[in-house]
């Protein structure tokens, strides 16, 4: 089972490396010929292409697209029509309309369509999902995501679209809901006009769970964590340390504080990309729907669109 990678930039390089380690790298496509010379020396088993359409005409059965988001739709559509199974780095597209079109096309052609919602493949997130299903945390009250760092500011998309995509995907996954029933959003445009650098999003879900998300690429410290509150305790997932801490702390029905201590209940690792690529290869093999399939990508993008509309309305854009 071989996969061709379209786009060998910073993240595409990681995909190339992981597929090679899984003995599943079939080809590398990038318009930079000098870059391809380096890749050819490092991965002599993989064919190289500068023209992605020419690459799609090859017999490689699947592709992983790691190009800038504006190119995703055209490339994914062409790949599906060429009979390829397709993995696309997040977000699938910048439009829920285009995302739905790709999802429908994949279903019509009987092809696998998977989206790179990387955090869903973190072992810690899988552990949290399983733990919540036991009911030991009691009734789920809310989920808060914080993704804060001094990052690379972008001019074509705001911080929510850039780094908040993963957290929205995780929130929908953990709540078990496909759509929020209510969204509120506010943001700050500190560095440039028309682009939010710091965003707060508040969500309400039909099952009563509340969600909060704070993302910023203008922050003095790196803070990537998820806080999950329930009626019988709380979980804190520290993405930097790759640890999940269970706080047996809550307020009972008589409004009395209860504290039975805390402990680290899970330690994971920071290499979910290999697990994600393994998942893609497995779905190519068994033809089952991926965890991060087209339908889940549509739900994430619709949520982002609704939040973005609110941000634009607040700023008068």
| CATH number for position 206 | 3.30.360.10
Single out the residue of 70, 91, 64, 100 nearest to residue 277, CA to CA: 64
| Residue 14, φ and ψ in degrees, nearest 5 | -65, -40
Helices 96-109 + 72-81 axis angle, to 10: 10
**Is there a domain that residue 200 lies in?**
yes
Q: Are residues 130 and 20 both part of a single domain?
A: no
In Å, how far are 58, 80, 111, 215 from 234, measured between CA atoms?
51, 43, 40, 21
Q: Residue 156: its pLDDT value, please?
A: 81
Q: Are residues 169 and 38 both part of a single domain?
A: no
User: Structural domain of residue 160, as residue ranges?
Assistant: 120-270+303-315
Q: Residue 29: its pLDDT value, please?
A: 98
Residue 96 three-state SS: helix
**Is there a domain that residue 224 lies in?**
yes
Q: Are residues 101 and 145 both part of a single domain?
A: no
Q: Are residues 98 and 12 both part of a single domain?
A: yes
Domain count, the chain: 2
As a dihedral over the C-alpha atoms of residue 81, residue 85, residue 90, residue 96, rounded to 10 degrees, the angle is 40
**Is there a domain that residue 180 lies in?**
yes
Q: Residue 316: its pLDDT value, please?
A: 62
Q: Are residues 137 and 231 both part of a single domain?
A: yes
Q: Are residues 50 and 113 both part of a single domain?
A: yes
Q: Are residues 198 and 84 both part of a single domain?
A: no
**Is there a domain that residue 298 lies in?**
no
Q: Are residues 189 and 227 both part of a single domain?
A: yes
Q: Are residues 112 and 211 both part of a single domain?
A: no
Q: Which residues, including other chains, have CB under 8 Å from residue 95's CB and lie 6 or more apart?
A: 73, 301, 305
What DSSP state is assigned to residue 18? H
Q: Residue 317: its pLDDT value, please?
A: 53
Q: Residue 257: its pLDDT value, please?
A: 95
**Is there a domain that residue 46 lies in?**
yes
Q: In the sheet where 113-116 sits, what is the strand order? A: 47-49, 25-29, 3-6, 62-65, 85-89, 113-116
**Is there a domain that residue 225 lies in?**
yes
Show the low-confidence residues of the chain (pLDDT under 50): none
Q: Are residues 39 and 129 both part of a single domain?
A: no
What's the CATH code of the domain at 46? Answer: 3.40.50.720
Q: Are residues 129 and 40 both part of a single domain?
A: no
Q: Are residues 99 and 177 both part of a single domain?
A: no
**Distance between terminal CA atoms of the chain?**
47
């Amino acid at each position: 089972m071989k996969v061709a990678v379209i786009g060998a930039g910073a993240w595409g390089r990681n995909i190339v490396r992981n597929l090679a380690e899984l003995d599943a790298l079939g080809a590398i496509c990038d318009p930079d010929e000098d870059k391809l010379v380096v890749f050819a020396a490092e991965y002599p088993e993989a064919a190289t292409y500068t023209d992605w359409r020419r690459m799609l005409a090859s017999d490689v059965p699947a592709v992983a697209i790691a190009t800038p988001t504006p190119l995703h739709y055209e490339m994914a559509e062409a790949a599906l029509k060429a009979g390829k199974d397709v993995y696309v780095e997040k977000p699938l597209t910048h439009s829920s309309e285009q995302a739905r079109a790709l999802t429908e096309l994949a279903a019509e052609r009987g092809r696998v369509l998977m989206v790179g919602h990387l955090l869903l493949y973190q072992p810690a997130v899988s552990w949290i999902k399983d733990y919540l299903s036991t009911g030991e945390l009691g009734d789920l009250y809310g989920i808060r995501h914080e993704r804060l760092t001094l990052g690379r500011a972008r001019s074509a998309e705001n911080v929510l679209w850039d780094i908040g995509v993963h957290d929205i995907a995780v929130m929908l996954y953990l709540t078990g809901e496909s759509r929020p029933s209510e969204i509120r959003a506010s943001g700050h445009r500190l560095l440039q006009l028309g682009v939010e650098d710091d965003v707060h999003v508040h969500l309400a879900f039909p099952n009563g769970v509340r969600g909060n998300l704070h993302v910023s690429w203008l922050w003095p410290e790196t803070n990537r964590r998820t806080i999950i509150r329930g009626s019988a305790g709380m979980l804190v997932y520290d993405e930097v340390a790759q640890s999940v801490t269970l706080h047996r702390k809550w307020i009972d029905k008589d409004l009395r504080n209860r504290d039975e201590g805390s402990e680290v209940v899970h330690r994971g690792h920071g290499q979910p990309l290999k697990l994600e690529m393994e998942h893609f290869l497995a779905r190519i093999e068994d033809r089952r729907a991926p965890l991060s399939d087209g339908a889940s990508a549509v739900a994430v993008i619709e949520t982002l669109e609704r939040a973005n509309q609110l941000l634009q309305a607040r700023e008068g854009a």
